Amino acid sequence: MNKPIKDLKPITVEASPIPGSRKVYEPGVRFPDIRVPFREVALHESANEPPVTIYDSSGPYTDAGFTPDIAKGLPRLREQWIVDRGDVEYIEAREVKPEDNGILLRGGNVSEGALAPQFPNLPKVLRAKDGKSVTQYEYARQGIITPEMEYIAIRENLRRKEQAETVRDGEDFGASIPDYVTPEFVRDEVARGRAIIPANINHPEVEPMIIGRNFLVKINANIGNSAVTSSMEEEVEKMVWAIRWGADNVMDLSTGRNIHNIREWIIRNSPAPIGTVPIYQALEKVNGVAEDLTWEVYRDTLIEQAQQGVDYFTIHAGVRLAYVHLTAKRVTGIVSRGGSIMAKWCLAHHKENFLYTHFEEICDIMRAYDVSFSLGDGLRPGSIADANDAAQFAELDTLGELTKIAWAKGVQVMIEGPGHVPMHKIKANMDKQLKVCGEAPFYTLGPLTTDIAPGYDHITSGIGAAMIGWFGTSMLCYVTPKEHLGLPNRDDVKTGVITYKISAHAADLAKGHPGAQAWDDAMSRARFEFRWQDQFNLALDPETARAFHDETLPKEAHKTAHFCSMCGPKFCSMKISQEVRDYSAAMTDNERADIENGMADMSQKFRALGSEIDVPAE
Amino acid sequence: MNKPIKDLKPITVEASPIPGSRKVYEPGVRFPDIRVPFREVALHESANEPPVTIYDSSGPYTDAGFTPDIAKGLPRLREQWIVDRGDVEYIEAREVKPEDNGILLRGGNVSEGALAPQFPNLPKVLRAKDGKSVTQYEYARQGIITPEMEYIAIRENLRRKEQAETVRDGEDFGASIPDYVTPEFVRDEVARGRAIIPANINHPEVEPMIIGRNFLVKINANIGNSAVTSSMEEEVEKMVWAIRWGADNVMDLSTGRNIHNIREWIIRNSPAPIGTVPIYQALEKVNGVAEDLTWEVYRDTLIEQAQQGVDYFTIHAGVRLAYVHLTAKRVTGIVSRGGSIMAKWCLAHHKENFLYTHFEEICDIMRAYDVSFSLGDGLRPGSIADANDAAQFAELDTLGELTKIAWAKGVQVMIEGPGHVPMHKIKANMDKQLKVCGEAPFYTLGPLTTDIAPGYDHITSGIGAAMIGWFGTSMLCYVTPKEHLGLPNRDDVKTGVITYKISAHAADLAKGHPGAQAWDDAMSRARFEFRWQDQFNLALDPETARAFHDETLPKEAHKTAHFCSMCGPKFCSMKISQEVRDYSAAMTDNERADIENGMADMSQKFRALGSEIDVPAE
């Protein structure tokens, strides 16, 4: 039933270093075997500066000389750590059923050519022993520092040296960002529920990362096919492409055929945590008829996906029956796929949302694999008109209730957020979420700050994302130029990722996150000193920066030119600025004093003039 | 010496309606001859909604059936109003000299082929009689409502009806935005100096517009050649292209050859106000040697440009000798072209900036033509590291002094602003400028909220621009993807303009500007009802919106499809949402009451559970 590997379209994942960057790895101290990845940009020797260290999410694909073998998957770097904890056991995996790949039980067409092949090197499946909770939250609350936690502490410090004093320049609205991240700090944040480490025990390929207000702001990219377009090969390529440019997490939002098989290929080859929305696959299993969804089908889907290694589930347990009518007068109703599906189910059955009523059972499944909740914002506003309305905040209140229940079960939680929100309403979202959800991490989709620009919604939302990241949001879910218009392609994925890296970094800067500004400063020094190649290499997108420069000045000689085509050699302010600096440095103290005195005289005159509006012309 | 017209490359300015929009004109009441432009998007009849009125800056080029005659120029629509005021006279224009076009006095190569032709239908030049001030500010202070002021009032209302009560939903930080704009309100704002109407008496082709905090946020696009690239034909095309997509004003920042001739073609064909930085041309006249600049050369350049019809001059009179050393330790020194030129001059001569010492004489020239000041921020920060430093704010203090002097002379003033500013420092810029500059309009360049993304600086700055527009900035100067890398081409100009239209409109929304949200609401209703063509037509960029949709769903049938390729027919939340709304509406009161009661029971149970963190698993 599965497509033979030989018929597989050639997968051409981008496996090469980012231009100008070199992958480097730092070892652990408590856990000497861990190797934490970064990329390093070495500068021109005239800079007389050390290389710049940049956080890297691209995985082994950007290691020098790495040859991907997609059919084998990535190294299972966490496997031993997980097994060594002694609280998990190998189990008989749930059998994969035809309907997991969208092949219907009762007839229906099965086209051999459309099937994605099964991943050929399926690993054995782990699960917690004896109903234990094997989540990072559970370990943290027991005072245990896991290898994942040390890995993360090293990763977040960006190889900075711990200093006696770090000068802060930012506004963090009461966050608790440390000068220097220790493994103990990581443990404490996770124990408080203020941060999560999405890392399913069946996804040992993950390079551990953390989502929390007191850490670097993270971003998520969405991939996944739909009934209308895209294939497995394309989805794996998109995942590698998205993390290359900076996606910290990736969600597989597939809604078409072959969901199970596609997901396995993605997880086995992803160094980034993978999220899903299980209701999509559940809906496929009931042939797209929302009313036919049942708790049993959904439960089975949770287990299926948890055993594959999905790291977080978006679950719309806050779309309660009584809230649905609150959307009746909205301009854009319910824009969340999962939210609209559950709303339909509730009304059709005149019953409470089964995700809500079975919430504790969901927790029991997730705690056995360490799958984190991403409590879905099914009632988020999909237009400026609907922002901050009763439906949205009623759901948020419920998500707050559910957070406590999940924590009681030892399950990690983050909270999803809007949506479409005009700038003046953004802070209220953050304040309310902090208050209602016990400081669980916030994970927003934008928000879009206006509805008028389809084709440019990466920008309308990049504005809102930067702001809400500044206010305390921990992860920003990207939006591509294709939002509202169709499924994004590779270029769209890259544009969305770069835009959201901008938003996340602008937020880190505004929060005064220690060390964040080092990157901007290195770029600006390179710019001032006309180290063009360094400028390109330090850019979020070195290829585009260089290509844009070369459009008008392509020759190698231009790379040391003290101008570009914006102003040309006579008018380059950077060039003149350097001359000014030399002049200024060469002035004598007397010359400086003269200037000061002269200034005093002239200032007095103008102040006398200036204090009255109506001054006769001289 | 001038290139014959027959050798002119064919100019292909884009002269066609925006897809889906129709140009319409509203007449005046006080001045019945005025015709105020808008574009109107008619919706599908199933919408049962009136057409949406959108502010339009594209000029006659988008009128149905308009055939541009670039050698003739646009209709001189203000000419009679200006002459009728009786305070101007035709004068012998200053003679155009070879050095005005970069042809050196002492030898140097003159290449016939490189000269831009002279505009063939030069108009007669006007100037104020008897040293009068003929500025809109002067008229406003005398209590006069000019035709320009009524035109603007009509333009700003977007054909809204005046209502008894307008519900505000925004945060405007103490602005004074009226529910409905009257000509008297316009006059009052201009009289206070809180708004300016850039409209040189020698630029009668201008469709009057206003720049002020209590009006719609405006945007500026930059065009202009450099020594390295671009020609006159390209610059005229860029101007028409920029205003087509929404630029309210255009600055010609040319620094290459043929500055005078190029500018004449631009002004004669521009319905938008045109700004310049006169020091650029002055520098060309002294062969690029900043030290050779003199007040006399500069003064002559001001007169030359004022007589052509330039509407506002960027003048770096705040770059004072004593401030220059404050930039010595900056990371990126002085990034303003004009600022760096004046700084160099000051240090080379050990003298105060002649723009500062001759400021009143500059006012005397400008008042005679109604050229507005754009007081330059020569010491703006060009990197995150330099934001809000002593140099920047010292200059701002001086701009505040100079504002008073200009007003005393009856000259309109706006104040230029940064630059590169991390989000947490943006509001301080606005607050300080309001305080120091007597509420003169603020006109910022972005600001960029991080330095790390050359190639994407339209986005890094679009974030800062949206925020500072919200806080009270009146005009946002665009940044294109080519910033820091080279001169922008046509595509870059469009991308920059669309990005800044987004920022400006997001700011209007957040300020609660009356009527602003009507556009977003119309778009969102179209989206919810799957009126695809309406979505495209309402978009800031209809062509791109449609092209992106059609990449995956190109057929005409798809334009009424109740899904797109993002989710496909089964998963489209909009589609399901419509079903939910129908269900909900069909519920009986009893069914609703049952839901409410059921909710109450379940909520109590979960509240009891939720109030304690450690709850035993059931």
pLDDT digits (tens, 9 = 90+) for B9-34: 666 788 999 999 999 999 999 999 99
State the CB neighbour count (10 A cutoff) for residue B52. 24
Q: Which of A108-122, A323-337, B126-140 has the lowest mean pLDDT?
A: A108-122
Query: Is the Cβ pair A328, B596 closer than 8 Å?
Result: no
Question: CB of A37 within 8 A of CB of A25?
Answer: yes
Contacts of B544 in chain A (CB under 8 A): 455-456
Look up residue A214 and give its two tokens.
Answer: 């007191």
Q: What DSSP element (H or E) covers B537?
A: helix B532-538
- Residue B206, chain A, CB below 8 Å: the answer is no
A-interface mutation test, from B366, B411, B513, B576, most A Cβ less than 10 A away: B576
Q: What would the mean pLDDT of A134-147 be, rounded to a whole number?
A: 98
Picking from A327, A336, A528, the nearest residue to B331 by CB comes out as A528
Report the candidate in A388, A360, A392 with the shortest Cα–Cα distance to residue A376. Answer: A392
Q: Which of A268-272, A503-507, B486-490 has the lowest mean pLDDT?
A: B486-490
Give the pLDDT score at B609. 39
Give the pLDDT score at A451. 98
Q: What DSSP element (H or E) covers A314?
A: strand A312-315
pLDDT classification of A163: cutoffs 50, 70, 90: confident
A580 has pLDDT over 70: yes
pLDDT digits (tens, 9 = 90+) for B409-425: 999 999 999 999 999 99
Alpha-carbon distance of A212 to A181, in angstroms, equals 13
Q: Which of A9-18, A508-517, B112-121, B480-489 has the lowest mean pLDDT?
A: B112-121
Return the higher-pLDDT residue of A609 and A240. Answer: A240
Query: Is the Cβ pair A325, B584 closer than 8 Å?
Result: yes
CA atoms within 13 A on the CB side of B430: 25
Give the pLDDT score at B613. 29
B552 has pLDDT over 90: no
Give the pLDDT score at B114. 55
Q: What would the mean pLDDT of B349-373 be, rounded to a whole number?
A: 98
Give the pLDDT score at A6. 52
Give the pLDDT score at B213. 98
Q: Long-range contacts for A141-147 (Cβ within 8 Å, ≥24 apart)?
A: A141/A191, A141/A410, A143/A187, A144/A187, A145/A30, A145/A183, A145/A184, A145/A186, A145/A187, A146/A81, A146/A85, A147/A28, A147/A30, A147/A31, A147/A34, A147/A78, A147/A81, A147/A208
Contacts of A521 in chain B (CB under 8 A): 331, 383-385, 451
Q: What would the mean pLDDT of B474-495 be, rounded to a whole number?
A: 95
Residues 342-381 of B with CB under 8 A from A: 343-344, 347-348, 350, 352, 356-357, 360, 364
Contacts of A463 in chain B (CB under 8 A): 462-463, 466-467, 502-503, 506
Helix runs in A409-472, H state only: 426-436, 457-471
Question: CB of A77 within 8 A of CB of A204?
Answer: yes
User: Minimal Cα distance from B460: which residue of A?
Assistant: A502
Counting every residue, how long is chain B? 618
Picking from A324, A335, A503, the nearest residue to B584 by CB comes out as A324
- A548/chain B closest Cα distance in angstroms: 6
Q: Which of A248-257, A359-368, A419-428 has the lowest mean pLDDT?
A: A248-257
User: Which single residue is written with the structure tokens 């099965």?
Assistant: A110
Model pTM above 0.90? yes
pLDDT classification of A579: cutoffs 50, 70, 90: confident
pLDDT more than 90, % of chain A: 79
- A75/chain B closest Cα distance in angstroms: 32
Query: Is the Cβ pair B565, A226 closer than 8 Å?
Result: yes
B231 labelled as ligand-binding? no
A110 has pLDDT over 70: no
Look up residue A251 and give its two tokens.
Answer: 């969600």
Q: What would the mean pLDDT of A541-570 be, rounded to a whole number?
A: 82
Give the pLDDT score at B4. 54
Give the pLDDT score at A603. 45
Alpha-carbon distance of B159 to A30, in angstroms, equals 69
Alpha-carbon distance of B160 to B132, in angstroms, equals 37
Contacts of B613 in chain A (CB under 8 A): 404, 407-408
Size of interface A-B (CB pairs under 8 A): 494
B3 has pLDDT over 90: no
pLDDT digits (tens, 9 = 90+) for A244-297: 999 999 999 998 788 999 999 999 999 999 999 999 999 999 999 999 999 999
Question: CB of A19 within 8 A of CB of A543?
Answer: yes
Question: CB of A336 within 8 A of CB of A375?
Answer: no
pLDDT classification of A616: cutoffs 50, 70, 90: very low
Picking from B280, B539, B565, the nearest residue to A486 by CB comes out as B565
* Domains along chain A with CATH numbers: 70-514 (3.20.20.540), 517-564 (no CATH)
Give the pLDDT score at A498. 98
pLDDT classification of A167: cutoffs 50, 70, 90: confident
At residue A527, what is the residue type?
R
Query: Is the Cβ pair B321, A460 closer than 8 Å?
Result: no
Alpha-carbon distance of A459 to B103, in angstroms, equals 44
Query: Is the Cβ pair B341, A609 closer than 8 Å?
Result: no
Q: What would the mean pLDDT of B530-549 be, rounded to a whole number?
A: 96
Contacts of B324 in chain A (CB under 8 A): 580, 584
Give the pLDDT score at A4. 53
Contacts of A498 in chain B (CB under 8 A): 453, 456
Cα A453 to Cα A481, A569, B479, B512, B546, distances in angstroms? 10, 38, 18, 19, 12
Residues 300-339 of A with CB under 8 A from B: 320-322, 324-325, 327-328, 331-337, 339
User: Minimal Cα distance from B351: which residue of A?
Assistant: A595
Look up residue B120 and give its two tokens.
Answer: 């063939």
Query: Is the Cβ pair A227, B568 closer than 8 Å?
Result: yes
Query: Is the Cβ pair B592, A325 closer than 8 Å?
Result: yes
Residues 472-501 of A with CB under 8 A from B: 481-487, 489, 498-499, 501
The C-alpha angle B494, B498, B504, rounded to 5 degrees, equals 140
CA atoms within 13 A on the CB side of B587: 23
Helix runs in A130-182, H state only: 136-141, 147-157
- Residues with Cβ within 8 Å of B478's Cβ and at least 6 positions away in sequence, in order, are B219, B220, B221, B222, B247, B458, B496, B497, B499, B500
B453 has pLDDT over 70: yes
Give the pLDDT score at A230. 59
A164 has pLDDT over 80: no
- Residues with Cβ within 8 Å of A132's Cβ and at least 6 positions away in sequence, in order, are A87, A138, A367, A368
A112 has pLDDT over 70: no
Return the higher-pLDDT residue of B116 and B293. Answer: B293
Q: What would the mean pLDDT of A454-472 be, rounded to a whole number?
A: 98
B314 has pLDDT over 80: yes
Contacts of B618 in chain A (CB under 8 A): 360
Alpha-carbon distance of A14 to A16, in angstroms, equals 6
Alpha-carbon distance of A328 to A344, in angstroms, equals 13
> How would you classify residue A143: left for phi > 0, otherwise alpha for psi between -120 and 50, otherwise beta?
left
